[in-house]
Amino acid sequence: MRISVIGTGYVGSVTAACFAEAGHDVVGLDADPAKVKTLSAGETPLFEPGLKDLLALGLREKRLRFTTDYSDAVRSSDIVFLAVDTPSREDGSADLSRITAAAESVARCAEGRKLVVVKSTVPVGTTRSLGEKMRAAGAPDISVAFNPEFLKEGSAVGDFQRPDRIVIGTDEDRVFEVLRKLYDPFVRTGAPILRMGIESAELTKYASNAFLATRISFMNEIARLCEKVGADVEAVRRGMACDSRIGSKFLFAGIGFGGSCFPKDLRALAASGRSAGIRMRIAEAALAVNEEQKLWLLPRIRKELGGSLQGRTVAVWGLAFKPRTDDLREAPAVSIIRALLEDGAVVRAFDPVAGANARRLFGSSVEICDSQYEAARGADALILATEWAEFRSPDLDRLATVMRGKLILDGRNVLDPSEVRGHGFMYVGVGRP
């Protein structure tokens, strides 16, 4: 099939590369000429394992190219995917200005019958509204569908190629059959292709992310209670996870979630509820708990370092909101570092891939180091903020040599408390005695 993908951010670039790898002719469009130039050279403006190799393959086989020209992208395609960012407004609602502008640009260039598939996360009713706008803009033969993405940063390529499910929101049999055929090669292991109404598909995306985020915030509240009553949240988690009705995923306590999806989607879901006259209390609570949890360890570090952080050196291991990505959006580490700086601390930090982004974000206010042990050199305290694999089994003897203090705050509960304490450190975990 001939496909165009409007927007080459995280979702769009993965979508374009994976469809091209599956044998389709794909054009990726972005309004940013610098991004198009980077992608056309086979480079990625973001870190996502496996994506660079897929880009190189698609470009080499001439099944993938990038452009800034809507006319070129739209007229050469049968299916147009909209993968444009829908950021949060100040009130939490989704800003649809970019995707609306993209849809209208598609309509102005469309000739004959076109299928426009919305992949961006949008509030209920948006896909139909975009269809009406495109038809009013002079494209009467446009059909629309909603096809949410369920990609996890750090494993997005695998998620696209081996999905848990494909959701297609459409009222038209023809549209469903086109998209079913497009996705059939990705579900040969038996993952279902679910057809539903457009509104149901739009809400499925929000509901899925909100539920996963709520599980995280729930466990973080349980962790707070554990600290007060002397329980161990890790033991509680294991006891819960053995229940088949609950399961083990997204039950780990820590310093909160971040990224481009969970916070934004929770806010948008709450805003959609307000618009419909329904207060989404659980979504609001999950957000509130998460924002508090990001700074959970600040009172502990102040207490253990004598009440003041002025002039103290704090090392931070991990900056991205999760491992295997360089994404700093709403990362707990960013909130922590800003609070440390406000308290007068000197911050030295390391992340395996997000260092360049962190340097742009913090400038000279934070020393971004080239290794985890360099970051820890001379530190009075160490905060483990992102659970990268290389942080799970540190050389504690070496760490004891390079650090000035003995305080380790494990914001992800990935270290062995007894082993850490056995090397003379004070260990503080989340919800652990």
Q: What is the pLDDT of residues 274-332, one digit of tens each?
A: 999 999 999 999 999 999 999 999 999 999 999 999 999 999 999 999 999 999 999 99
Helix H, strand E, coil C: the string for the chain is: CEEEEECCCHHHHHHHHHHHHCCCEEEEECCCHHHHHHHHCCCCCCCCCCHHHHHHHHHHCCCEEEECCHHHHHHCCCEEEECCCCCECCCCCECCHHHHHHHHHHHHHCCCCEEEEECCCCCCCHHHHHHHHHHHCCCCCEEEEECCCCCCCCCHHHHHHCCCCEEEECCCHHHHHHHHHHHHHHHCCCCCEEEECHHHHHHHHHHHHHHHHHHHHHHHHHHHHHHHHCCCHHHHHHHHHCCCCCCCCCCCCCCCCCCCCHHHHHHHHHHHHHHCCCCCHHHHHHHHHHHHHHCCCHHHHHHHCCCCCCCCEEEEECCCCCCCCCCCCCCHHHHHHHHHHHCCCEEEEECCCCHHHHHHHHHHHCEECCCHHHHHCCCCEEEECCCCHHHCCCCHHHHHHHCCCCEEEECCCCCCHHHHHHCCCEEEECCCC
Query: Residues spanned by CATH 3.40.50.720 within the chain?
Result: 2-196, 295-429
What is the CATH class of 205-292? Answer: mainly alpha
Calculate the dihedral angle through the C-alpha atoms of 70, 151, 35, 27, rounding to the nearest 10 degrees.
Answer: -40
CATH number for the domain whose boundaries are 295-429 = 3.40.50.720
Per the CB < 8 A criterion, the answer to whether 280 and 273 are in contact is yes
Query: Residues spanned by CATH 1.10.1040.10 within the chain?
Result: 205-292
Two structure tokens written together for 398? 């070496």
Which pTM value belongs to this model? Answer: 0.93
Q: Which residues of the chain have pLDDT under 70?
A: none
Catalytic residue among 109, 226, 261, 369: 261
Rounded to whole angstroms, the Cα distance separating 253 from 223 reads 6
- Beta-strand pair 64-67/25-29: parallel
Unique residue bearing structure tokens 């304490």: 421
Q: Which one of 3.40.50.720, 3.40.50.11600, 3.40.50.800, 3.90.580.10 gives the CATH number of domain 2-196?
A: 3.40.50.720
Unique residue bearing structure tokens 């991004």: 35
Rounded to whole angstroms, the Cα distance separating 279 from 277 reads 7
Distances (CA, A) of 67 to 35, 119, 295, 363: 10, 19, 43, 32
Q: In this structure, which amino acid lies at residue 236?
A: V
Q: Residue 225: name the closest of 433, 402, 410, 39 by CA.
A: 433
Q: Could you read off the pLDDT of 259-270 as tens digits, one per residue?
A: 999 999 999 999
Q: Given this model, what pLDDT does residue 112 score?
A: 87
Q: Could you read off the pLDDT of 359-384 as tens digits, one per residue?
A: 999 999 999 999 999 999 999 999 99
Unique residue bearing structure tokens 């870190």: 47
Unique residue bearing structure tokens 């229940």: 243
Q: Residue 137: name the closest of 114, 169, 168 by CA.
A: 114
Q: Given this model, what pLDDT does residue 67 score?
A: 98
Q: Given this model, what pLDDT does residue 138 score?
A: 85
261 is catalytic: yes
Calculate the dihedral angle through the C-alpha atoms of 235, 240, 241, 245, rounding to the nearest 10 degrees.
Answer: 180
- Beta-strand pair 367-368/346-350: parallel
Chain centroid to Cα 409, Å, comes to 24
Q: Given this model, what pLDDT does residue 121 score?
A: 97
Q: Given this model, what pLDDT does residue 433 score?
A: 85
